[in-house]
Amino acid sequence: MDSTKRASIYTGKNEEYEASVTSPVNIAVIKYWGKRDSDLILPTNSSLSCTLSQDDLHTKTTIRASRLFEADRLWLNGVEEQVATSKRLSNCIAQARAFRKELETNSQVVETIATKERPLSEWKLHIISENNFPTAAGLASSASGYAALVQALANLFELTLDQTELSKISRLGSGSACRSMFGGFVEWRGGESPSGEDSYAYCVAPQSHWPSMHALVLVVSDDKKGTSSTSGMSTTVNTSTLFAERVKSIVPKRLQKIKEAILSHDFSTFAEITMQDSNQFHAVCMDTYPPIFYMNNTSKAIVHLVHLFNSQLHPETNAPKGIRAAYTFDAGPNAVIYAEEQHIKELVQLISYFFPPAKAQSFRAYFPDAYKIFESSDDHL
């Protein structure tokens, strides 16, 4: 997360404050899907993700506070969203303001001429947020979006909270956002408390723990998904019988095993669990009634291709080359493939061979280096 201290801006006699941050997306390898409390955004299971480098996919959010503003307003990608009617936006802003008020009440902040008259917690905000990648297309825009919003609020209000506490505020905007408050391999501990005090993110291992790990982002479609993550998971909780089994007996074991795999750099276990969990998440979506289909034919072809890659034999010895890549799909058709540095070139060649770019082809760097392979429509195959 790139965040700087807030700036004071003087426009004539009027003092204003501004904070600007950039936040990364994260792609889960153990998926969060299902809420036990939809107001506080408390999940039915813990989850784990990798935060990608923000050099490419990111949200940039700038917040300005002025005594002259009459209402909190937010523009997302240039279009105004209604803050007052969005519970998620207003919850995050209200929570950050409450912490600011606490600082003001305890005289823990230095009052300036401007804030002596009326404390900063009472000033209205104008928020500008831009995602530099498709919004609501299954590439975790709600994660980087709410992470950026909360970090910018924290900087603007000079909150003295640590990242764990801030992760609880961003969780109120979108569950997956709490994991974007940290870099590297991050777990969202689901917690049990009805208040949400034990539902937060923490860093299992920094990105530097496994520097050869890369993520390839394959943009299959830029389109907005038909079923938002929020509504999809709510229907799943209410209708899927597979879902209960997943939450109770499968996820806890997988989570434990994948954390061990990460800590011991065991790529093949990491990859196997990642692929199985993605597949099960999509199976649970299909078990939802009416069913939800996030993956399309291109997504399925990518699954086959990765299994083909993983089943290759060494040309001389005939020994299996082993599991060297793992796909995962969020709530959308776009794929993220995790692989280690030494296999990236071969993998990219294989993918480019089967999926020659329909539109633009560009190679980009995430986590720390990953590549946007292609943008292809479903009928391209």
Residues of this chain that bind ligand ADP (CB under 6 A): 59, 76, 129, 131, 135-143, 145, 149, 174, 228-229, 330-332
Using CB under 6 A, which of 24, 34, 134, 175 touches ligand DP6? 175
* Binding partner selected for residue 232 from ligand DP6, Co ion, ligand ADP, none, CB under the kind-specific 5 to 8 Å limit: none
CB of 2 to ligand DP6, least distance (A): 22
Residue 26 found at the interface with Co ion (CB under 5 A) = no
Strands 124-131 and 73-76: parallel
CA distance 347 to 339: 9
> Tell me, what amino acid is at 168?
K
* Residue 298, both tokens: 């291109």
Strands 213-219 and 372-375: parallel
Q: How many residues bind Co ion (CB under 5 A)?
A: 2
* Binding partner selected for residue 335 from Co ion, ligand DP6, ligand ADP, none, CB under the kind-specific 5 to 8 Å limit: none
Count the helices and strands in the chain (H runs, E runs): 10, 17
* Residue 299, both tokens: 């997504």
CA distance 275 to 330: 12
Nearer to ligand DP6, 83 or 120 (CB): 83
CB of 92 to ligand DP6, least distance (A): 12
Using CB under 6 A, which of 331, 335, 347, 351 touches ligand DP6? 331
Please report, as residue ranges, which positions from 213 to 232 form the binding site for Co ion (by CB under 5 A).
229
CB of 117 to ligand DP6, least distance (A): 38
Using CB under 6 A, which of 3, 46, 86, 230 touches ligand DP6? 230
CA distance 254 to 260: 10
Q: Cα-flanking dihedrals φ and ψ of residue 35, to 5°?
A: -115, 145
Please report, as residue ranges, which positions from 139 to 178 form the binding site for Co ion (by CB under 5 A).
142
* Binding partner selected for residue 339 from Co ion, ligand ADP, ligand DP6, none, CB under the kind-specific 5 to 8 Å limit: none
Nearer to ligand ADP, 137 or 271 (CB): 137
Residue 273 found at the interface with ligand DP6 (CB under 6 A) = no
Using CB under 6 A, which of 21, 25, 28, 325 touches ligand DP6? 28
> Of 176, 174, 157, 149, which is closest to residue 75 (Cα–Cα)?
149
CA distance 311 to 325: 11
- Torsion sign across C-alpha atoms 172, 193, 163, 44: negative
Nearer to ligand DP6, 23 or 47 (CB): 47
CB of 95 to ligand DP6, least distance (A): 16
Burial class (CB in 10 A: 0-12, 13-18, 19+), 170: buried
> What's the residue count for the chain?
381
Cβ contact 291:285 at 8 Å? yes
| DSSP SS3 for 161 | coil
CB of 332 to ligand ADP, least distance (A): 6
CB of 343 to ligand ADP, least distance (A): 27
CA trace torsion 137, 140, 143, 149 (10° rounding): -50
| DSSP SS3 for 10 | strand
CB of 277 to ligand ADP, least distance (A): 17
Residue 185 found at the interface with ligand DP6 (CB under 6 A) = no
Nearer to ligand DP6, 121 or 334 (CB): 334
For residue 328, list its beta bridge partners.
336
Residue 46 found at the interface with ligand DP6 (CB under 6 A) = no
Binding site for Co ion (CB under 5 A): 142, 229
Binding site for ligand DP6 (CB under 6 A): 28, 31-33, 41, 47, 142, 174-176, 229-230, 330-331
